Every structure is written in C-alpha cells, then in structure tokens.
Structure 1
Amino acid sequence: MWNAFTESNPEFKKEELPESTFFHDNEADANRLAELIVNGKKKAGSNLYHWYEEVNADLPKIGTKSIVTDFDGKARAIIETIKVDTIPFHQISAAYAEMDMGTTIEPLKKWKKAHWDFFANALEESGKKPTEDMLIVCEKFETIWPKK
C-alpha cells in the first residue's frame, strides 16, 4: 500500500514506511473501524493519556502518517494526523464523538459508553479505575489513501 501511495504521491518517496496499526482490541471492532476509516466516516481516535505517561511515549504529532490495518494485518488505509488535543473525558464534545465513532446517531452517548467500557477494562489490568476527569488524547486524522 505504501508503494502505491508513494508512486501516486512522489513527494513522499523519501519518507520512511509508517507504523501500521489496527484500532481496538478485537477482530470484529478492528475490522469495522478500518472499514469506517476507508469510507471516510471515522476521522478520529481516542486513547488514555495515562498510557502515554506509563510508557513515557510521545503524544501523536501533527503530520504523522500511519497505515491502518484490519485485525489480521492487511493494510486498508493510510491516515495522517491533523490535530491532537488532550481533553478530560467529561468534556468530549458531540462533534468530536461523531468523528471518532463515524456516526451521526447519538455519537456522544455511544462514544462515552464504548470508551468508558474500553478504558475501564484496560485500566483494570493495572488496578486503576476510569474517572470522569481522566485525560483523553484526541487525535483527529484524515484518510489520505486510498483516495475517494
């Protein structure tokens, strides 16, 4: 996929191959979210700030490209980070939730439920619990390949 992208966009030929990743932690959700990204409906992703702190990792940077895969590692799209914010859980907006969830039907309600459950499950492993004040790294991106 990266080769096809750089053939069509030669200005990126000298860039290193981006990291590849899938969204979520299970096959059904990873494949569903990859499809939403390919279709241009999902335009954001959310992670716990705590995770970056825990491993002393840098927050996502504007301009970073990533190859989105399905759960089995098949490349589906290339995305580029266009904005990064760190926001308390309880301050997530409906507009952001719509970008992250890829739906206009009750996006904030769905975002809060899905992410609370996901973060609660992930934090449980380290003996922590989610809070309304937990910081969320909100990464907005655009799908740059395949072109629509």
Structure 2
Amino acid sequence: MRYFSMITFLLLVGCKSEIKTENGIDKSVYEMWNNFIEVNPKYQNTEMPEAWYFHNNMEDANRLAALVVNGKKKAGSGLYAWYEHANADLPKIGTKHIITDFNGRAQAIIEIKTVDTIPFNQISEEYAEMDMGTNIEPLKKWKKAHWEFFTSTLEENGQKPSEDMLVVCERFETIWTEK
C-alpha cells in the first residue's frame, strides 16, 4: 500500500489549499480547467484532469511548478516498482494533469507525450535535463536527487535501490498556464 501512496504522492498527489471547494480541491483548479476548455471547446465534455504537485515538500513542489510554468521542466520520473506493487497502469500518452503548487493552487496543465521504462543507470543527460529543468550538470543532479528519494521510499518497505531499478520516465508538454 505504501507504493500506491508513493505513486499518488509523486505523480497524483491530492491538492492542499487554504481556499477549497466542498470536495477539497482549490477553486483555482476548476477555474484553470474552465478557462482551458473555453479556449479549447473540443475538451468541453472531457472530465477535469487530476490535480497534483511534484515532490513531497513546499520548497521543491513550488520550485518544480514554476519550472513547469516556465517550460523548463518537461519530464517526471517514478519507480516502476510503485506501479507494479499497486497493480496500477503506467501513465498514458495524451493524459492531461493540472500541476499545482504545494498548497493546491493551479499553475499549469500538462499533457503526457511519451512514457518509457528505463533502468536507473541508463537515464540520459537529455532526459535528466528535461526532468530537472536545468542544463547545469543535469544527469549528476538527477541521479543524486532521485537516488536519495527512491532510496528513502524503498527502505520504508524493507527494500534497497539498485543501479538497474526501472524508472517510469514521462515526457510532457505544458499546454496551458495563466501567467
């Protein structure tokens, strides 16, 4: 069950906010989706995407959301083992998500463009740059940050990371912001 929590946490974490609707989602999420479909009426009968933030703390969540808004962050990573343990489907191409800040306020809408499963030790510099949102030592930074995060979550379940553990690599496009 912890793996499912980590998938949800990392990729589809529920929103937190001081200004919420009756179901706990910040009003800005609804407003962003409504503004998006007003300009893109073909999505009018589409269910509102899930809203979530990257990472597990305010500083990183807000920093990563800003990178998404600025078009610098174009990818996200999760452990394949989390999906496998939760018996959850891998992300699907074309799926949209509303990215929020740590408090659940809508920042951007993204659309998944590719999904690959790659061993940790085969992550490319190009992918790391897309995920980290920087071109300054992206692979070194990606490996350090993700090794630490994956290690801490795996150890909670009595497991250890390995250089060949599978990583679900999602590349996405930011398709809407309200700058």
Provide TM-score, normalisation by structure 2.
0.81
| Helix, strand or coil at the partner of 2:168 | strand
| Deviation beyond 3 Å, 4+ runs, structure 1 | none
Distance 2:160 2:107 in 1: 33
| Structure 2 match to 1:98 | 129
Whether the 8 Å contact between 2:107 and 2:178 is mirrored in structure 1 is no
Distance 1:147 1:92 in 2: 32
Provide TM-score, normalisation by structure 1.
0.98
**Bigger RCO (CA 8 Å, 6+ sep):** 1
| Structure 1 match to 2:49 | 18
Whether the 8 Å contact between 2:112 and 2:173 is mirrored in structure 1 is yes
Distance 1:99 1:112 in 2: 13
Query: Partner letter of residue 123 of structure 2?
Result: I
Residue 53, structure 1, aligned to residue 84, structure 2: yes
Which of 39, 43, 68 is equivalent to 2:74? Answer: 43
Distance 1:137 1:147 in 2: 29
| Helix, strand or coil at the partner of 2:112 | strand
Give unmatched runs, 5+ long, in structure 1.
Answer: none
Corresponding residue pairs, total = 148
Deviations 1:110-143 (A, max 9, x none): 0000000010011111011110010000000000
Distance 1:84 1:147 in 2: 26
Residue 86, structure 1, aligned to residue 129, structure 2: no
Q: Percent identity, aligned pairs only? A: 70
1:147 shift after superposition: 7.2
